[in-house]
Chains A and B, each alone.
Chain A
């Protein structure tokens, strides 16, 4: 199964990419994905430690770390917004 990760603002700059396609053998929780990403690249630790960052799964904010991610899902990493 595939999950698309989208990065914005300083997260995009820090990771030097705007998106990732993650291939997995089975569905995992958001919390498990976080741990996987941190183990692969310590830059993710800095992102996940920043409490101002919000995570949106298929355009809805994640409010439970145990939420399951499924094939085709889009997970977006959003720093505080500054439009207008």
Chain B
């Protein structure tokens, strides 16, 4: 299941939608809005997430398919929010489900690493003067993807 949504989501509800008696292991990744500093060292008041929805859905579908096939998952749920989010709010949820824990854990890491560098979302810091400041892609996120190069190719 893949969802791109404005509103928040409930963890228990999403877990129930991914759960099944055939699974013995679930791995979760939950990304939230961090109390970050702007480039001018001032506390941000939240973030704004922009998205090219048609492309992001297609990209997430590919990532999910790779995760399901490579780690023999029974389910892979990906939810990503867009729009204005306050500090502490949930941004992204990945749940991977499999028979055993190793596959679920590794697949979950693959999905979030891939999402970080390969899906059409853009983050802006919301500043106190209501201005937006673009968040730059992190070099480390790209480096981390090298770990998965055999799976990507």
Q: Which residues of A contact B (CB under 8 A)?
A: 6, 8-10, 12-13, 56, 59, 76, 78-84
Determine if B112 and A80 form an interchain contact, defined as CB atoms under 8 angstroms apart.
Answer: no
For the complex, what is the distance from the CA of A9 to the CA of B133, rounded to whole Å?
10
CB distance from A81 to the nearest CB of B (A): 6
Contact B92 A83 (CB under 8 A): yes
Q: Which of B52, B115, B117, B136 contacts A76 (CB 8 A)?
A: B52
Please determine whether A82 and B122 come into contact, CB atoms closer than 8 angstroms. Answer: yes
Shortest distance from the beta carbon of B71 to any chain A beta carbon, whole Å: 19
Do the beta carbons of A82 and B55 come within 8 Å of each other?
A: no
| Residues on B facing A (Cβ under 8 Å) | 31, 49-52, 54-56, 58, 80, 91-92, 112, 115-123, 132, 134-137
Query: CA A36 – CA B91 in complex, angstroms?
Result: 39
Question: How far apart are the CA atoms of A59 and B120 in the complex, in Å?
Answer: 11
Residue of A9, A59, A84 touching B116 (CB-CB under 8 A): A84
Find chain B residues with CB under 8 A from A12 CB.
Answer: 50
**Cβ–Cβ < 8 Å partners of B49 in chain A:** 83
Say yes or no: B91 contacts A84, CB within 8 Å. Answer: yes
Contact B120 A84 (CB under 8 A): no
| Contact, CB under 8 Å: A84 / B122 | no
Residue pair B121, A84 in contact (C-beta under 8 Å): yes
Contact A81 B121 (CB under 8 A): yes
Docked Cα-Cα span, A6 to B119, in Å, equals: 16
Q: Is the CB of B55 within 8 A of A56?
A: yes
